[in-house]
Amino acid sequence: MELRLASSARSYTNYGLVACVALSLSLIQVTWAQVPGSPTLHIESTGNVVDLSWTAVSDADGYVLYYADYPDVAELGSVDLGATLAVSGELPPGSAYYVGVQAYNGEGVGMFSNVDYFSLPSTLEPSPGDLCSADPQDARFAWPLPGQNGRDWTISNYVDLTPGTGISDYASAHGVPGKAYDGHNGVDIAIPTFREQDRGVGIYAIQGGVVVDVKQSFPDRATSCQSNDWNVVTVRHADGTLVYYGHMKSQSAAVEEGQTVVKGDLLGQVGSSGCSTAPHLHLELRSPGNEVIDPFRDQLWCDAPAYEFPLSVFTGVLLEAPANQYANAIKDPPPDVKSVPLGASLVPILHSANGAAFDSVGLKLLRPDGSTQVDTSFTLPASGRHGVWIFNTGTLNQSGIWTVHYLANSVTQYLLQVEVVEE
C-alpha cells in the first residue's frame, strides 16, 4: 500500500508519536508538552486527482500525513511533509484511503486533524455523462455543484408534482410524499453546514444562456423562512427556459446581468438567503409559459443522481456539552472542540446523507487507554436525505486523547479527537 502525492515530502522521522490503527481506525498518540494544535483537513477529488489541504497551526515545525486503506485498514503509512500545507496528485482508479494530518515541533506531536476518506472511481474512462457535461453543444444539463453525492452535497427535496395539497415527486407514487414537500417547485441540493458555506461551494451553470437577473445583497445565513428576499442568479436558455439559482451566498455572484454563459461556468456560491432553513441551492426551472419543469421527470440531466444512494457520513461535529450554549449547534456549529476538562461531556453531531430504510448511523467513543466508552447506533426508519443525529457520551473520566468515530453502517467514515485535561 502506497499513497503517492506531489509535495516537498522528506523521509518521516518519529517525533514522539505512537500511532495505532486497529479495526475502525483508532488513532492514539502520546508525548504531550508545548506541542502544536490540531489542523483541519479538507479533501477534494476530481476523477483520479486528489487534493488534500489543511490549516496552518501555530508553533508547528511541520506536518505528517497518515493514510490507510479504506474501509478495511491493513496498515498505516505516513510521510513527513515539512511545512507543506497542501498536496495533490493522480492516483490509480479505485484508490480509497483514510487520511489524517498531525502537526509536530521539537516538543512532540499534536492531535490528529479530522480523519476523513476518499474513494475514487474504478475507471479513468470518461462516462457518457462526463462527456455530456463537458460538451456545451449537448442540450442536456450538467450538475450544478462540484464534488460527490453524499460527501459534498445531497438532494434534500425534489419538485412536488401533485397539484393542490398532495405531495409526490418524480420517483414516488402519486400522492406519496417521497422526497418533496407541498408546493415545492425546484430541486434543493444541500451542503452539510454553514462551515462548508464559509469555505465556499461553487454553483455552476447547468446549460448555456444569458444572465437576466442578479441579486446578491441580501443576508445569507437564514435558518428559518423569515424573508422572501433571496440572492439569485437567473439564466435564460436559448429555448426560453428560465433557470433560477437561488439562496446564494451574499456578494458571491461571479456573473452580471446581460452576460452570456456556457455550460459549466461559475455563477456564484451556495448560501442560505431568503426563505431558507440551511445552506443549499434551490434550482428552479420555468418554461416560457411559466410552467414548472422537473428535470428529473423529464430526463434532462446528462447523468442524473440516483434517487436511492448509499448512506454516508456527510460530516461530523464535536462540541462540549451542553448543546444549548451554542446559538445553532446543528446548522451553524462553532469549530470542533479540541480540549475539555476532566469530567466534561461531549456533544457529537453526525450529519448523514442518503441511505435506505434499516441502514444505520452510529458513534464509537474510545478512551485514551483504547477501551470503549460509547458504541451505539440509530436505524434509519425510511429512505434518507440529509439527517442529523446527536449522541450522548457520558462523563469523560480519563485524561488524555479521546477518539470519536462517526459511522455509516458500522464503517468509520469520519474521525475526530479531543484532549481531556486535568485542571
Give the residue carrying C-alpha cell 450522548: 392
Do the beta carbons of residue 305 and residue 141 sit within 8 Å? Answer: no
Lowest average pLDDT, out of 17-31, 57-71, 185-199, 203-217, goes to 17-31
Q: Bridge-partner residues for 268, per DSSP? A: 203
**CA 407 – CA 42 distance, rounded (Å):** 19
Domains of the chain: 1-125 (2.60.40.10), 126-307 (2.70.70.10), 308-423 (2.60.40.1930)
| Single-letter amino acid code for the residue at 62 | G
Lowest average pLDDT, out of 26-35, 150-159, 184-193, 243-252, goes to 26-35
Please give the grid coordinates belonging to residue 380.
Answer: 434509519
Q: Bridge-partner residues for 76, per DSSP? A: 68
Read off the pTM: 0.91
- Cα–Cα nearest to 98, from 27, 37, 148, 8: 27
The stretch 144-154 carries a mean pLDDT of 96
Contacts of 416 (CB under 8 A, 6+ apart): 114, 115, 316, 318, 336, 348, 403, 404, 406
**Long-range contacts for 126-130 (Cβ within 8 Å, ≥24 apart)?**
127/303, 128/302, 128/303, 129/301, 129/302, 129/303, 130/302, 130/303
The stretch 81-90 carries a mean pLDDT of 96
* pLDDT at residue 11 is higher than 50: no
The pLDDT score that the predictor gives to residue 235 is 98
Q: Does residue 295 have a cis bond before it (omega within 30 degrees)?
A: no
pLDDT tens for each residue of 14-28:
322 223 333 334 444
What does the radius of gyration of the chain's CA atoms come to, in whole angstroms? 23
**CA 329 – CA 223 distance, rounded (Å):** 12
pLDDT tens for each residue of 336-381:
999 999 999 999 999 999 999 999 999 999 999 999 999 999 999 9
With 0-12 / 13-18 / 19 or more C-beta atoms within 10 angstroms meaning exposed / middle / buried, residue 85 is middle
Question: Which residues in 27-61 are b (16+ Cβ under 10 Å) and which e?
Answer: bbbeebeebbbbbbbbbbbeebebebbbeebeebe
CA dihedral 410, 411, 412, 413 (to 10 degrees): -120
The pLDDT score that the predictor gives to residue 2 is 54
